[in-house]
Amino acid sequence: MSADRLTAPSLTVSSDSAAACWRALALDALRECDPSAKADAVRALRARATADEPRDGAWFPERVFDAPADLPGRPTCPELVEPRGLGRRSMSTPHGRVVLLHALAHIEFNAINLALDAVWRFPRMPAAFYADWLKVAAEEAYHFSLLRARLADYGHAYGDFPAHNGLWEMCERTRDDVLARMALVPRTLEARGLDASPPIRARLKQAGDDVSAGILDVILRDEVGHVRIGNHWFRHLCGERGLDPHDAWRDLAARYHAPRLRGPFNFDARRSAGFDDAELDALVAQDADDPARP
């Protein structure tokens, strides 16, 4: 049977059938440009879906939505630039720390959008898939709120500094294949955060910013779970398609031009997130063969 197709609803959902579809409401939240309103919408939808969890049919997994042109919803600031246009950040000064916190807030804002995109975009997935990614979106919204509040402590706001669009660009490249999305967004790009968090936290701690270091602890704890969700669904999909997960990841990373992963790696966090020894050994081997290594 062919899937039902819906045109993406506007931010004010007037259709009763669309309003009852949690995936449609996730798309609404994705299109929201105001960060506060987006975070509120995500939390409200997560609370509703959690309270009504036995009603798995509210996800309407058979429905296919036409992708609107205004994705993702985001504010006019920050200005988006190429990654090389962003300067290095020294955490020895308050300015350097606030620029870093802004970069982290931008990552978390993008992570809200990435998780919401997984909820609405991919039809015919189990209800647990949609529930998992809505949970991730709600936790990313919480991380964003922590970082935005910390920016305010420094007298700044989200949007005060330029940022890059790398995470969403990979989201766009993998829009037609849920397997590629699981392989290359949570398991590759977001997993890099598991490696990056401990040294950033240590530098914040060394600079005397215990509050920001504590926020990094919360983010790392939750991100392990997010990457674990990506690993779970990647392996689930590989099983459905009769693919070896190790071979599939290598093929997808090459096909979609995923960034090369460089150490040092947070092996404990990666193991907790579901990477197996063969995958970790492959990371070490790839890093050792990196021609950019001194």
pLDDT tens column, 93-135 = 999 999 999 999 999 999 999 999 999 999 999 999 999 999 9
CA separation for the pair 131, 137 (Å, rounded): 10
What does the pLDDT read at residue 292?
60
Average pLDDT over residues 45-52: 88
HSE value, Cβ hemisphere, 13 Å, CA-based, for 206 = 10
Please tell me the predicted confidence (pLDDT) of residue 232.
98
Both tokens of residue 197? 């968090």
Which residues 6+ apart lie within 8 Å of 176 measured at CB?
Answer: none
Contacts of residue 113, Cβ cutoff 8 Å, sequence gap at least 6: 30, 72, 73, 74, 168, 171
For residue 41, give the nearest of 62, 22, 60, 61 by alpha carbon. Answer: 22
**Residue 3 pLDDT greater than 50, yes or no:** no
Helix/strand/coil for 157: coil
> Which has more confidence, 141 or 291?
141
CA-based end-to-end distance of the chain: 56
Task: Return d(Cα 16, Cα 150) in angstroms, integer.
Answer: 39
Query: Token digits for 239?
Result: 């099983």
Kind and range of the H or E element at 66?
A: strand 64-66
For the chain, domains (ranges, CATH) are 80-288 (1.20.1260.10)
- Token pair belonging to 113: 């959008």
- How much is the pLDDT for 166? 85
Mapped onto helix, strand or coil, the DSSP state of residue 15 is coil
The pLDDT of residue 294 = 54
Tens digits of per-residue pLDDT, 127-185? Answer: 999 999 999 999 999 999 999 999 999 999 999 999 998 889 999 999 999 999 999 99
Q: What is the pLDDT of residue 64?
A: 95
Per DSSP, the three-state class of 99 is helix
pTM: 0.90
Among 3-7, 33-37, 165-169, the range scoring the smallest mean pLDDT is 3-7
Instruction: Please give the angle made by the CA atoms of 6, 9 and 13, to the nearest 5 degrees.
Output: 125
For the chain, give the mean pLDDT.
90
- Token duo for residue 213: 């270091």
Q: Which long-range contacts (CB under 8 A, 24 or more apart) does 256-262 make?
A: 256/170, 256/173, 256/174, 256/180, 256/184, 257/173, 258/170, 258/184, 258/188, 258/189, 259/188, 259/189, 260/286, 260/290, 261/188, 261/192, 261/286, 261/287, 262/287, 262/290, 262/292, 262/293
Return phi, psi of residue 64, to 5°. -115, 125
CA gyration radius for the chain?
Answer: 19
Q: Which two tokens stand for residue 88?
A: 């290095």
- Cα 164 to Cα 106: distance, rounded to the nearest angstrom: 9
Q: And the tokens for 103?
A: 């970069």
